[in-house]
Amino acid sequence: MSRLGSSAAAVDVNVGSAWVPSELQVNGRFVYWACAARNKAGVFDRSRGRSLSVPVGDALLADGFLVPHDNQRGELVHTDIRSGQAGTSDLADLPATTNLMPEGSTSDRRVR
């Protein structure tokens, strides 16, 4: 297999199981994966060649960190993954607002 637009070999991403991810995001050396059926999420660090478990939720991947919205607690959360460990801290209060969510969705990601 090769990369899109390149003849370089692709990198396999091991999520630690045979199930298929329900979501993938890529930013630089990091590949975020989530499996809604198993309620698991992680980030594969291509430079380290391994996955790191991260909190499950409506996360957006940036270069070295995730920013999920914890709707239950009403917090915007920062999860730093650059060190190979998932260090999590609250960024700001952000109560869930269901009237902004698309119909039939429990996610407000990319809405606000």
Q: What is the Cβ-side half-sphere exposure of residue 37, based on CA atoms within 13 angstroms? A: 6
**pLDDT tens sequence across 6-62:** 666 666 766 666 778 888 899 988 999 988 888 889 999 988 888 888 888 788 898
Find out whether 23 and 39 touch, Cβ atoms under 8 Å.
no
What is the value of pTM for the model shown? Answer: 0.71
C-alpha to C-alpha distance for 43 and 50, rounded to whole angstroms: 8
Q: Please say whether the beta carbons of 40 and 50 come within 8 A.
A: no
